[in-house]
Amino acid sequence: MLLNPVISKLAGKRVVLASASPRRQDILSNVGLRFEVVPSWFKETLDKSLFSAPQEYAVETAKQKALEVARRMHMKHLKTPDIVIGADTIVTLEDAILEKPLDKQDAYNMLSRLSGKEHSVFTGVAIVHCKSQEDNQLDTDVIDFYEETKVKFADLSEDLLWEYIDSGEPMDKAGGYGIQSLGGMLVESVHGDFLNVVGFPLNHFCKKLAEIYYPPSKQSIHRVKHDSIPYVESFEDLSDVEKDCSSPSKTYDKKKAKSDSDSNTCSPGPSTKHATGIQNGVEEKPSGTVHLPSKLIELMDGFKASKTLFAASKLKVFDKLKDKGALKAMDIADKINASVHGTERLLDACVALGLLEKTHQAYSNTELAKTFLVSDAEFSVHDFIIHSNDHMWTHFTHLESAVVEGTYSHHKACGRTAEHVHGPEFKERFMRVIHCMLKITAQDIVTAFDLSKYGTACDLGGCTGTLAHELTWTYPEMQVCVFDLPEIIQNVSKFQPEKSDSSRIIFTSGNFLDDALPKANLYILSRVLHDLPEDKLHHLLRKVSEACNPGISALLIAEIVLDEEKKEPRALLQSISMSEGKQRSGTEYKKLLEKHGFNSVQIRYTGNLLDAILAVKR
């Protein structure tokens, strides 16, 4: 296997993708690469006439995107990445670069030129290795390359052209089409890497990583001669390279790499071995053998893994191991007041899940546990896990009833009164959960778009002010108002970071559904819209729209955004919570916001807990 050893080499590194493209994120996530998403602010204004070939322009743009993110993270966020990946995809016809269409007529002109012809798609890729020097200077080493794929369009009729243009898909695509979606019906043939046309040349990228981390020795190169093709150089199998433990990452993978389904089998008889026959040199499966897909086994056992994490967190196992080195099961059992044999089984399960390490019968925290699971760690998700255990777990055990009734069954599931649910204890726990979630996602939300032109912001339902602090840190000129209910505002002091300039943040009490909204250039709604019933949703968006000045103001939304084909599991699993509101796709959010006068809507899939939407009222 080529990629597995490469991933093990990247396990301890902060890998950043300098692109908001959901297609690139999916391609890299699908092969198991763990990375953060920090979209580049580099303005793609390079003079194309200065480049002798289109691919040189793509490579230089990718390089500048990656370098901009590397420098910004190093200087503004004080989080120097180890590796930044930049990419830029262009479509060329007869050496002319076709940009994104300006309007429908421009899309028509572009697609008409491509009709019946072969064109080239180039993706330039830059891999920037970063290192912080002793004088806090950033040292970078850039490896870049490009991939070319030839694409031939069919002869397109006028009706087909306009049908495709009216779908809206061409408007944000280089060359005016997306091959992975409706644009695929325009394509007659593809010569080369299909994923390169989608937006990222995965095969070439993997080979480049192998060259960087596993340069072949003379002994590992074989020259294979065939009668009709030139010599081919092939690498030795690298699957036996030592694998490293996984390391903390600030993002969650959108998809898990598919495992080998042949590794798990289930047979109906008492014996696990069956005789096999050979027919014409092909091994036949014995009669009665059933292969249960590993994906299904993973789904059937998934709740056990979740509950293991929840139980270990509830019992503060990771806290007990903090700064203690390695402890034996009996010592941990004593600290958590539990049985030794029960504790040992829980600890071994945590080791199997990659949450703990075990050496000579002693257990210690992994880097992942130190970063995310110890309750007082900077980026701890402990409160979020406890909320999932105490609140969401109970609710999801009643999912069948909720589906049948089509209603939110929280009170029935939890058996609690309205007074208890809305009491002080519940509100404080709610604040801890929101604070915990936004600590992890705030940076990705506020950097998904360049918000520097908005001098004032108002975070409606801003809770503890986590987003506000990230905004003022990222944009030094911005003033932020956190607008929330009185009982929330009066308890925010305990959540304020120790080292923070709060002079540009004010906390104001109010109800954004009933009270007048504070004046601001940028309004923010984080995890609000998905929970509102339709009448309140439209009422709130109408108020925000009326408060916005055309061309000056905007609305920033942080929500889980469903993918257009509704295949991404995490967002869909969240959507079945049967709350009064609902989760929406990017297209659904765009239509909703356009209905309230926001006619410029951009979606950014961050790869983190929440995605970002920027809606501007023109």
What residues are labeled active site?
Answer: 88
Q: Which long-range contacts (CB under 8 A, 24 or more apart) does 139-147 make?
A: 140/67, 140/70, 142/63, 142/66, 142/67, 143/208, 143/212, 144/59, 144/62, 144/63, 145/59, 145/204, 145/208, 146/55, 146/58, 146/59, 146/122, 147/122, 147/123, 147/192, 147/193, 147/196, 147/201, 147/204
Element (H, E) at 68: helix 54-75
Q: How far apart are CA 222 and CA 239, in angstroms?
A: 17
- Closest to 22 in 3D by CA, of 615, 608, 454: 608
Q: Pairing between strand 222-224 and 187-191?
A: unpaired
Q: How far apart are CA 293 and CA 80, in angstroms?
A: 41
Question: Which residue's entry shows tokens 């945590």?
Answer: 350
Q: Tell me the C-alpha to C-alpha distance, in Å, between residue 232 and each of 16, 40, 210, 248, 263.
A: 33, 38, 17, 39, 31
Q: How far apart are CA 360 and CA 363, in angstroms?
A: 8
The answer to whether the CB of 606 falls within 8 A of the CB of 448 is yes
The answer to whether the CB of 495 falls within 8 A of the CB of 431 is yes
Element (H, E) at 487: helix 486-489
- Could you please report the per-residue DSSP string of 365-423? E-HHIIIIISTTSTT--HHHHHHIIIIIHHHHTTHHHHHHHTS--HHHHHT--HHHHTS
Token digits of residue 376: 């007082």
Q: How far apart are CA 51 and CA 237, in angstroms?
A: 39
The amino acid sitting at 534 is E
Token digits of residue 157: 């009729």
Q: How many residues does the chain have?
A: 618
Q: How far apart are CA 110 and CA 115, in angstroms?
A: 9
Q: How far apart are CA 64 and CA 41, in angstroms?
A: 10
The answer to whether the CB of 581 falls within 8 A of the CB of 532 is yes
Question: Which segments within 99-137 are labelled E, that is strand?
Answer: 118-132
The amino acid sitting at 161 is L
Q: Pairing between strand 362-365 and 356-359?
A: antiparallel
